[in-house]
Protein backbone atom coordinates (compact mmCIF):
# COMPACT_ATOMS: atom_id res chain seq x y z
CA UNK A 1 0.00 0.00 0.00
CA UNK A 2 1.06 3.58 -0.68
CA UNK A 3 0.02 6.79 1.07
CA UNK A 4 -0.38 9.32 -1.71
CA UNK A 5 -3.52 11.26 -1.00
CA UNK A 6 -5.99 11.75 1.83
CA UNK A 7 -8.74 11.63 -0.75
CA UNK A 8 -10.30 8.20 -0.62
CA UNK A 9 -8.29 7.11 2.42
CA UNK A 10 -10.45 4.72 4.43
CA UNK A 11 -11.69 5.40 7.93
CA UNK A 12 -10.29 1.99 8.90
CA UNK A 13 -6.80 3.06 7.87
CA UNK A 14 -7.10 6.30 9.86
CA UNK A 15 -8.23 4.31 12.91
CA UNK A 16 -5.34 1.86 12.48
CA UNK A 17 -2.84 4.72 12.29
CA UNK A 18 -4.27 6.32 15.44
CA UNK A 19 -4.27 3.06 17.38
CA UNK A 20 -0.70 2.31 16.41
CA UNK A 21 0.48 5.91 17.00
CA UNK A 22 -0.84 5.72 20.56
CA UNK A 23 1.36 2.70 21.25
CA UNK A 24 4.42 4.55 19.90
CA UNK A 25 3.93 7.72 21.93
CA UNK A 26 6.06 6.53 24.85
CA UNK A 27 8.91 5.50 22.56
CA UNK A 28 8.79 8.91 20.90
CA UNK A 29 8.62 10.74 24.21
CA UNK A 30 11.43 8.75 25.84
CA UNK A 31 13.49 8.94 22.66
CA UNK A 32 14.17 5.22 22.67
CA UNK A 33 13.70 2.69 19.88
CA UNK A 34 11.83 -0.49 19.10
CA UNK A 35 12.70 -3.29 16.67
CA UNK A 36 9.59 -3.14 14.51
CA UNK A 37 11.45 -2.15 11.33
CA UNK A 38 14.91 -3.43 12.21
CA UNK A 39 16.81 -4.20 9.03
CA UNK A 40 14.52 -2.05 6.88
CA UNK A 41 15.60 1.06 5.01
CA UNK A 42 13.67 4.24 4.38
CA UNK A 43 14.66 6.40 1.39
CA UNK A 44 13.77 10.08 1.80
CA UNK A 45 13.74 11.83 -1.57
CA UNK A 46 13.35 15.54 -0.89
CA UNK A 47 13.31 17.41 -4.18
CA UNK A 48 12.31 20.46 -2.20
CA UNK A 49 13.91 21.17 1.16
CA UNK A 50 11.74 20.65 4.23
CA UNK A 51 13.88 20.20 7.28
CA UNK A 52 10.95 19.68 9.62
CA UNK A 53 9.20 16.94 7.66
CA UNK A 54 12.41 15.16 6.78
CA UNK A 55 13.65 15.17 10.39
CA UNK A 56 10.30 13.88 11.54
CA UNK A 57 10.42 10.93 9.11
CA UNK A 58 14.07 10.17 9.91
CA UNK A 59 13.35 10.21 13.61
CA UNK A 60 10.31 7.99 13.14
CA UNK A 61 12.35 5.43 11.17
CA UNK A 62 15.20 5.42 13.72
CA UNK A 63 12.73 4.92 16.58
CA UNK A 64 11.42 1.88 14.70
CA UNK A 65 14.94 0.47 14.56
CA UNK A 66 15.34 1.07 10.83
CA UNK A 67 17.87 2.88 8.64
CA UNK A 68 17.52 5.98 6.51
CA UNK A 69 19.11 6.98 3.21
CA UNK A 70 18.22 9.88 0.96
CA UNK A 71 18.85 13.43 -0.14
CA UNK A 72 17.45 16.81 0.65
CA UNK A 73 19.15 18.90 -1.96
CA UNK A 74 18.16 17.94 -5.48
CA UNK A 75 20.85 20.25 -6.87
CA UNK A 76 23.46 17.66 -5.90
CA UNK A 77 21.62 14.73 -7.48
CA UNK A 78 21.00 13.62 -11.02
CA UNK A 79 17.50 15.11 -10.73
CA UNK A 80 19.05 18.45 -11.55
CA UNK A 81 20.52 16.94 -14.72
CA UNK A 82 17.00 16.31 -15.92
CA UNK A 83 16.66 12.68 -14.89
CA UNK A 84 13.08 11.54 -14.95
CA UNK A 85 11.47 10.86 -11.62
CA UNK A 86 10.35 7.45 -12.85
CA UNK A 87 14.00 6.47 -13.49
CA UNK A 88 15.13 7.69 -10.06
CA UNK A 89 12.38 5.66 -8.41
CA UNK A 90 13.36 2.46 -10.23
CA UNK A 91 16.91 2.89 -8.96
CA UNK A 92 16.01 3.81 -5.39
CA UNK A 93 13.58 0.94 -4.92
CA UNK A 94 16.58 -1.36 -5.30
CA UNK A 95 18.16 0.13 -2.17
CA UNK A 96 15.23 0.55 0.18
CA UNK A 97 11.98 -0.84 1.60
CA UNK A 98 9.90 2.34 1.63
CA UNK A 99 10.14 5.74 -0.09
CA UNK A 100 9.13 9.12 1.28
CA UNK A 101 8.98 11.78 -1.40
CA UNK A 102 8.61 15.57 -1.30
CA UNK A 103 8.46 17.18 -4.73
CA UNK A 104 7.49 20.63 -6.07
CA UNK A 105 5.31 19.19 -8.84
CA UNK A 106 1.77 17.97 -8.24
CA UNK A 107 1.16 14.30 -8.90
CA UNK A 108 4.81 13.35 -8.36
CA UNK A 109 4.10 10.96 -5.47
CA UNK A 110 1.34 9.24 -7.46
CA UNK A 111 3.75 8.84 -10.33
CA UNK A 112 6.47 7.50 -8.04
CA UNK A 113 4.01 4.96 -6.63
CA UNK A 114 3.18 3.81 -10.10
CA UNK A 115 6.78 2.94 -10.90
CA UNK A 116 7.69 1.63 -7.48
CA UNK A 117 7.27 -1.91 -6.21
CA UNK A 118 7.84 -0.73 -2.62
CA UNK A 119 5.47 1.54 -0.65
CA UNK A 120 5.60 5.27 -1.42
CA UNK A 121 4.59 7.95 1.07
CA UNK A 122 3.75 11.44 -0.14
CA UNK A 123 5.42 14.11 2.00
CA UNK A 124 3.99 16.93 -0.11
CA UNK A 125 3.52 17.20 -3.89
CA UNK A 126 3.32 20.82 -5.02
CA UNK A 127 0.04 22.35 -3.96
CA UNK A 128 -1.79 19.03 -4.06
CA UNK A 129 -1.57 16.88 -0.91
CA UNK A 130 0.35 16.25 2.29
CA UNK A 131 -1.48 13.30 3.85
CA UNK A 132 0.92 12.48 6.72
CA UNK A 133 0.70 16.06 7.95
CA UNK A 134 -3.11 15.84 7.89
CA UNK A 135 -3.01 12.53 9.76
CA UNK A 136 -0.83 13.99 12.50
CA UNK A 137 -3.08 17.05 12.65
CA UNK A 138 -6.15 14.90 13.07
CA UNK A 139 -4.34 12.74 15.63
CA UNK A 140 -3.44 15.88 17.59
CA UNK A 141 -7.09 16.89 17.62
CA UNK A 142 -8.23 13.46 18.76
CA UNK A 143 -5.63 13.49 21.57
CA UNK A 144 -6.17 17.08 22.69
CA UNK A 145 -9.96 17.20 22.29
CA UNK A 146 -10.57 13.48 22.98
CA UNK A 147 -12.98 13.39 20.04
CA UNK A 148 -13.44 14.61 16.48
CA UNK A 149 -17.18 14.13 15.88
CA UNK A 150 -19.25 17.15 16.79
CA UNK A 151 -16.43 19.70 16.46
CA UNK A 152 -16.53 22.94 14.51
CA UNK A 153 -13.37 23.85 12.57
CA UNK A 154 -12.07 27.16 11.32
CA UNK A 155 -9.45 26.58 8.62
CA UNK A 156 -7.66 29.78 7.66
CA UNK A 157 -4.96 30.91 5.27
CA UNK A 158 -4.02 30.03 1.71
CA UNK A 159 -6.59 27.36 0.97
CA UNK A 160 -5.89 27.26 -2.75
CA UNK A 161 -2.26 26.14 -2.72
CA UNK A 162 -2.22 24.80 0.84
CA UNK A 163 -1.69 21.06 0.35
CA UNK A 164 -2.05 20.41 4.07
CA UNK A 165 -5.55 21.88 4.22
CA UNK A 166 -6.59 19.91 1.13
CA UNK A 167 -5.57 16.68 2.82
CA UNK A 168 -7.11 17.71 6.14
CA UNK A 169 -10.46 18.50 4.57
CA UNK A 170 -10.62 15.06 2.94
CA UNK A 171 -9.86 13.40 6.26
CA UNK A 172 -12.46 15.48 8.10
CA UNK A 173 -15.07 14.27 5.62
CA UNK A 174 -15.04 10.96 7.56
CA UNK A 175 -16.44 12.65 10.68
CA UNK A 176 -19.51 14.55 11.76
CA UNK A 177 -17.96 17.98 11.72
CA UNK A 178 -18.65 21.50 10.53
CA UNK A 179 -15.87 23.30 8.67
CA UNK A 180 -15.58 27.06 8.18
CA UNK A 181 -13.13 28.17 5.50
CA UNK A 182 -11.45 31.56 5.71
CA UNK A 183 -9.01 32.69 3.02
CA UNK A 184 -7.92 35.75 1.05
CA UNK A 185 -10.44 36.17 -1.82
CA UNK A 186 -7.82 35.14 -4.39
CA UNK A 187 -6.87 31.93 -2.55
CA UNK A 188 -10.06 29.96 -1.86
CA UNK A 189 -10.34 26.21 -1.41
CA UNK A 190 -10.57 24.67 -4.93
CA UNK A 191 -14.22 24.15 -5.81
CA UNK A 192 -13.74 20.50 -6.81
CA UNK A 193 -12.47 19.67 -3.34
CA UNK A 194 -15.42 21.46 -1.71
CA UNK A 195 -17.75 19.58 -4.09
CA UNK A 196 -16.20 16.24 -3.17
CA UNK A 197 -16.59 16.68 0.58
CA UNK A 198 -19.67 18.85 0.95
CA UNK A 199 -22.02 15.93 0.44
CA UNK A 200 -20.62 14.43 3.63
CA UNK A 201 -19.82 17.40 5.89
CA UNK A 202 -21.08 20.94 6.32
CA UNK A 203 -18.69 23.41 4.68
CA UNK A 204 -19.17 27.16 4.99
CA UNK A 205 -17.02 29.91 3.50
CA UNK A 206 -16.71 32.69 6.08
CA UNK A 207 -15.51 36.26 5.62
CA UNK A 208 -13.87 36.80 9.01
CA UNK A 209 -12.06 34.78 11.66
CA UNK A 210 -14.93 33.23 13.60
CA UNK A 211 -14.70 32.79 17.36
CA UNK A 212 -17.23 29.95 17.51
CA UNK A 213 -14.73 27.28 16.41
CA UNK A 214 -13.50 24.38 18.56
CA UNK A 215 -10.41 23.98 16.42
CA UNK A 216 -8.67 26.90 14.73
CA UNK A 217 -6.32 25.65 12.03
CA UNK A 218 -4.11 28.45 10.74
CA UNK A 219 -1.84 28.17 7.70
CA UNK A 220 0.59 30.46 5.96
CA UNK A 221 -0.20 33.03 3.32
CA UNK A 222 2.91 33.21 1.16
CA UNK A 223 4.00 36.41 -0.51
CA UNK A 224 4.97 34.68 -3.75
CA UNK A 225 1.29 33.88 -4.41
CA UNK A 226 0.63 37.59 -4.94
CA UNK A 227 1.84 39.48 -7.98
CA UNK A 228 1.03 42.70 -6.16
CA UNK A 229 2.73 43.34 -2.77
CA UNK A 230 -0.17 45.57 -1.76
CA UNK A 231 -2.60 42.68 -2.38
CA UNK A 232 -0.42 40.47 -0.22
CA UNK A 233 -0.40 43.00 2.61
CA UNK A 234 -4.20 43.24 2.50
CA UNK A 235 -4.54 39.45 2.54
CA UNK A 236 -2.60 38.90 5.74
CA UNK A 237 -4.48 37.85 8.83
CA UNK A 238 -3.38 37.33 12.37
CA UNK A 239 -4.55 35.31 15.31
CA UNK A 240 -3.65 37.49 18.27
CA UNK A 241 -4.28 37.45 22.01
CA UNK A 242 -7.52 39.44 21.62
CA UNK A 243 -9.00 36.93 19.20
CA UNK A 244 -7.87 33.97 21.28
CA UNK A 245 -9.56 35.37 24.38
CA UNK A 246 -12.87 35.36 22.51
CA UNK A 247 -12.54 31.65 21.71
CA UNK A 248 -14.15 28.95 23.82
CA UNK A 249 -12.08 28.03 26.83
CA UNK A 250 -11.38 24.54 25.49
CA UNK A 251 -10.79 25.58 21.89
CA UNK A 252 -7.41 24.64 20.38
CA UNK A 253 -5.20 26.50 17.92
CA UNK A 254 -3.10 24.60 15.42
CA UNK A 255 -0.60 25.42 12.69
CA UNK A 256 1.45 23.05 10.49
CA UNK A 257 4.49 25.37 10.94
CA UNK A 258 6.55 27.20 9.97
CA UNK A 259 4.40 30.21 10.71
CA UNK A 260 5.08 33.73 9.57
CA UNK A 261 2.62 36.26 10.99
CA UNK A 262 -0.56 34.19 11.14
CA UNK A 263 -0.21 33.56 14.86
CA UNK A 264 1.22 36.24 17.05
CA UNK A 265 4.00 34.93 19.38
CA UNK A 266 2.02 36.22 22.38
CA UNK A 267 -0.46 33.38 21.72
CA UNK A 268 2.22 30.71 22.33
CA UNK A 269 1.81 30.72 26.09
CA UNK A 270 -1.98 30.50 25.90
CA UNK A 271 -3.14 26.99 26.89
CA UNK A 272 -5.20 26.84 23.67
CA UNK A 273 -2.02 26.90 21.56
CA UNK A 274 -1.25 23.32 20.50
CA UNK A 275 1.07 23.75 17.51
CA UNK A 276 4.16 22.48 19.29
CA UNK A 277 2.31 19.41 20.57
CA UNK A 278 1.07 18.95 17.01
CA UNK A 279 4.64 18.93 15.80
CA UNK A 280 5.65 16.32 18.41
CA UNK A 281 2.80 13.99 17.39
CA UNK A 282 4.36 13.84 13.92
CA UNK A 283 6.85 11.23 15.11
CA UNK A 284 4.47 8.61 16.58
CA UNK A 285 2.03 9.12 13.69
CA UNK A 286 4.78 8.68 11.09
CA UNK A 287 6.09 5.65 13.00
CA UNK A 288 2.58 4.20 12.78
CA UNK A 289 2.34 4.92 9.04
CA UNK A 290 5.76 3.41 8.32
CA UNK A 291 5.09 0.28 10.35
CA UNK A 292 1.67 -0.22 8.74
CA UNK A 293 3.01 0.20 5.21
CA UNK A 294 6.29 -1.70 5.39
CA UNK A 295 5.85 -5.44 5.42
CA UNK B 1 -20.59 21.40 -68.30
CA UNK B 2 -23.32 19.83 -66.21
CA UNK B 3 -25.27 22.26 -64.20
CA UNK B 4 -24.86 21.93 -60.48
CA UNK B 5 -28.01 22.31 -58.44
CA UNK B 6 -27.67 25.53 -56.48
CA UNK B 7 -28.75 23.70 -53.33
CA UNK B 8 -25.87 21.18 -53.46
CA UNK B 9 -23.38 23.83 -54.38
CA UNK B 10 -24.27 25.89 -51.35
CA UNK B 11 -24.23 23.01 -48.95
CA UNK B 12 -21.37 20.59 -49.37
CA UNK B 13 -20.09 18.11 -51.81
CA UNK B 14 -20.21 14.42 -51.03
CA UNK B 15 -16.87 12.94 -50.14
CA UNK B 16 -15.39 9.92 -51.82
CA UNK B 17 -13.30 8.56 -48.97
CA UNK B 18 -13.16 9.82 -45.43
CA UNK B 19 -15.35 10.50 -42.44
CA UNK B 20 -18.60 12.26 -41.75
CA UNK B 21 -19.24 13.15 -38.13
CA UNK B 22 -22.91 13.83 -37.62
CA UNK B 23 -24.98 14.94 -34.62
CA UNK B 24 -22.19 17.05 -33.22
CA UNK B 25 -23.62 19.36 -30.57
CA UNK B 26 -24.25 22.85 -31.93
CA UNK B 27 -21.13 25.00 -31.80
CA UNK B 28 -18.72 22.13 -31.04
CA UNK B 29 -17.48 21.35 -34.57
CA UNK B 30 -14.26 23.35 -34.30
CA UNK B 31 -13.44 21.76 -30.96
CA UNK B 32 -13.96 18.29 -32.42
CA UNK B 33 -11.50 19.17 -35.19
CA UNK B 34 -9.19 20.40 -32.46
CA UNK B 35 -9.10 17.10 -30.57
CA UNK B 36 -8.57 15.25 -33.84
CA UNK B 37 -5.57 17.48 -34.47
CA UNK B 38 -6.93 18.68 -37.80
CA UNK B 39 -5.54 22.11 -38.60
CA UNK B 40 -4.92 24.25 -41.65
CA UNK B 41 -2.05 21.97 -42.76
CA UNK B 42 -4.44 19.01 -43.23
CA UNK B 43 -4.13 17.87 -46.87
CA UNK B 44 -7.78 16.95 -47.53
CA UNK B 45 -10.90 19.02 -47.78
CA UNK B 46 -12.66 19.63 -44.49
CA UNK B 47 -16.24 20.80 -44.55
CA UNK B 48 -17.88 22.12 -41.43
CA UNK B 49 -21.62 22.67 -41.32
CA UNK B 50 -22.86 24.63 -38.38
CA UNK B 51 -26.33 25.17 -37.01
CA UNK B 52 -27.94 22.56 -39.24
CA UNK B 53 -31.60 21.96 -38.29
CA UNK B 54 -31.98 18.52 -36.73
CA UNK B 55 -35.07 16.58 -35.80
CA UNK B 56 -33.46 15.30 -32.58
CA UNK B 57 -31.36 18.13 -31.24
CA UNK B 58 -32.85 21.33 -32.63
CA UNK B 59 -29.59 22.39 -34.23
CA UNK B 60 -26.42 20.43 -34.82
CA UNK B 61 -23.02 20.62 -36.49
CA UNK B 62 -21.75 18.22 -39.14
CA UNK B 63 -18.12 17.66 -40.12
CA UNK B 64 -16.89 16.06 -43.33
CA UNK B 65 -13.24 15.11 -43.54
CA UNK B 66 -11.92 14.03 -46.89
CA UNK B 67 -9.28 11.29 -46.99
CA UNK B 68 -9.09 10.54 -43.28
CA UNK B 69 -10.70 7.70 -41.34
CA UNK B 70 -10.68 7.62 -37.56
CA UNK B 71 -9.20 5.18 -35.11
CA UNK B 72 -11.20 3.70 -32.24
CA UNK B 73 -9.22 5.82 -29.80
CA UNK B 74 -10.23 8.98 -31.59
CA UNK B 75 -13.91 8.13 -31.30
CA UNK B 76 -13.55 8.38 -27.54
CA UNK B 77 -12.00 11.83 -27.88
CA UNK B 78 -14.92 13.01 -29.94
CA UNK B 79 -17.31 11.70 -27.30
CA UNK B 80 -15.73 14.01 -24.74
CA UNK B 81 -16.83 17.05 -26.70
CA UNK B 82 -19.82 15.73 -28.61
CA UNK B 83 -21.31 12.83 -26.65
CA UNK B 84 -24.13 12.21 -29.17
CA UNK B 85 -22.01 12.23 -32.30
CA UNK B 86 -22.21 9.49 -34.90
CA UNK B 87 -19.14 8.74 -36.97
CA UNK B 88 -19.62 7.46 -40.52
CA UNK B 89 -16.74 5.97 -42.45
CA UNK B 90 -17.10 6.69 -46.16
CA UNK B 91 -15.67 4.69 -49.07
CA UNK B 92 -16.60 5.28 -52.68
CA UNK B 93 -19.29 7.72 -51.62
CA UNK B 94 -21.03 5.12 -49.42
CA UNK B 95 -21.22 4.69 -45.68
CA UNK B 96 -19.35 1.47 -44.88
CA UNK B 97 -19.28 1.82 -41.09
CA UNK B 98 -21.29 3.76 -38.56
CA UNK B 99 -20.45 4.27 -34.87
CA UNK B 100 -22.20 6.05 -32.09
CA UNK B 101 -19.42 7.49 -29.95
CA UNK B 102 -19.17 6.49 -26.31
CA UNK B 103 -17.78 8.54 -23.48
CA UNK B 104 -14.75 6.69 -22.10
CA UNK B 105 -14.16 6.40 -18.35
CA UNK B 106 -10.42 6.93 -18.68
CA UNK B 107 -8.37 8.74 -21.31
CA UNK B 108 -4.72 7.82 -21.42
CA UNK B 109 -1.96 9.48 -23.37
CA UNK B 110 -4.30 11.63 -25.39
CA UNK B 111 -4.49 15.12 -24.07
CA UNK B 112 -2.03 16.50 -21.57
CA UNK B 113 -3.13 17.52 -18.09
CA UNK B 114 -3.73 21.29 -18.31
CA UNK B 115 -1.95 21.90 -15.00
CA UNK B 116 1.52 23.28 -15.91
CA UNK B 117 2.74 22.21 -12.46
CA UNK B 118 1.70 18.58 -12.93
CA UNK B 119 4.45 15.93 -13.00
CA UNK B 120 2.91 14.29 -16.08
CA UNK B 121 4.15 16.99 -18.43
CA UNK B 122 7.76 16.42 -17.33
CA UNK B 123 7.36 12.64 -17.71
CA UNK B 124 5.48 12.75 -21.00
CA UNK B 125 2.43 10.82 -19.85
CA UNK B 126 -1.20 11.63 -19.14
CA UNK B 127 -4.23 9.95 -17.60
CA UNK B 128 -7.50 11.68 -17.03
CA UNK B 129 -10.63 10.04 -15.66
CA UNK B 130 -14.10 11.19 -16.64
CA UNK B 131 -15.85 12.39 -13.49
CA UNK B 132 -18.90 13.59 -15.38
CA UNK B 133 -19.80 13.33 -19.06
CA UNK B 134 -22.16 16.26 -19.35
CA UNK B 135 -21.01 18.93 -18.83
CA UNK B 136 -17.60 17.38 -19.14
CA UNK B 137 -15.48 17.12 -15.99
CA UNK B 138 -12.14 15.33 -16.04
CA UNK B 139 -9.81 14.55 -13.16
CA UNK B 140 -6.08 14.04 -13.56
CA UNK B 141 -5.11 10.71 -11.98
CA UNK B 142 -1.84 12.26 -10.80
CA UNK B 143 -2.31 15.86 -9.65
CA UNK B 144 -6.00 15.23 -8.79
CA UNK B 145 -7.17 18.53 -10.28
CA UNK B 146 -10.56 18.63 -11.97
CA UNK B 147 -11.09 20.29 -15.35
CA UNK B 148 -13.97 21.37 -17.54
CA UNK B 149 -14.03 21.31 -21.33
CA UNK B 150 -12.77 24.87 -21.62
CA UNK B 151 -9.60 24.07 -19.62
CA UNK B 152 -8.74 21.13 -21.84
CA UNK B 153 -8.99 22.71 -25.23
CA UNK B 154 -7.07 25.87 -24.88
ZN1 LIG C 1 -2.30 16.57 -13.63
Q: What is the CATH number of the domain that holds B133?
A: 2.30.30.20
Burial class (CB in 10 A: 0-12, 13-18, 19+), A3: buried
B77: number of Cβ within 10 Å: 21
A103 and B119 within 8 Å at the Cβ level: the answer is yes
Q: In angstroms, what separates the C-alpha of B130 from chain A's closest C-alpha?
A: 14
Beta-carbon contacts of B41 under 8 Å, excluding residues fewer than 6 positions away, are none
Name the DSSP letter for residue B14: -
Q: What is the CATH number of the domain that holds B78?
A: 3.30.70.140
Beta-carbon contacts of A210 under 8 Å, excluding residues fewer than 6 positions away, are A154, A180, A182
Q: Spell out which chain A residues touch chain B, with contact meaning CB-CB distance below 8 angstroms.
A: 5, 7, 84-86, 103-108, 110-111, 125-129, 190, 192
Work out the pLDDT band at B1, boundaries 50, 70, 90.
very low
Q: Is A159 a member of any domain?
A: yes
Same domain, B11 and B84: yes
| Confidence (pLDDT) at A243 | 96
B145 and A108 within 8 Å at the Cβ level: the answer is no
Q: Which helix (H) or strand (E) holds A144?
A: helix A131-145
Work out the pLDDT band at A95, boundaries 50, 70, 90.
very high
Which range of residues forms the domain containing residue B59? 6-100
Q: Is A3 a member of any domain?
A: no
Alpha-carbon distance of A145 to A142, in angstroms, equals 5
Determine contact, residues B33/B74, Cβ cutoff 8 Å: no
What's the number of domains chain B is made of? 2
Same domain, A158 and A212: yes
pLDDT digits (tens, 9 = 90+) for B117-152: 999 988 989 999 999 988 889 999 999 999 988 887
Q: Name the active-site residue from A5, A44, A53, A152.
A: A53
* Planar angle of CA A174, A178, A180, nearest 5 degrees: 120
Portion 85-144 of B in contact with A at CB < 8 A: 113, 115, 117-120, 122-123, 125, 139-144
Which range of residues forms the domain containing residue A26? 11-130+280-293
**Active-site annotation holds for A53:** yes
What's the number of domains chain A is made of? 2
CA of A41 to the centre of ligand 1 (A): 30
Of A30-34, A62-66, A202-206, B76-80, the least confident: B76-80
Amino acid sequence: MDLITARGLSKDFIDDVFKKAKTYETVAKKKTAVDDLRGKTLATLFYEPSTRTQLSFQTAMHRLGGDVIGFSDPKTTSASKGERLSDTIRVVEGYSDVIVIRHPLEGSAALAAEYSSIPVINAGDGSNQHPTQALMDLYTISREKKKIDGLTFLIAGDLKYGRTVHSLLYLLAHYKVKVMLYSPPSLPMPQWIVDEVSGRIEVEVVDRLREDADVVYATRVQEERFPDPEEYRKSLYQIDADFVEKLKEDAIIMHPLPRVKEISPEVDKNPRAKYFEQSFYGVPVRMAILSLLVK
Amino acid sequence: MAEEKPNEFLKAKKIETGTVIDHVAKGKAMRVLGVLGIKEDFPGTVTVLMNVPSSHYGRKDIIKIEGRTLEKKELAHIALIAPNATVNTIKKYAVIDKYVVQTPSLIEGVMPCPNPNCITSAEGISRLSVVQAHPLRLKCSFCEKVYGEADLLR
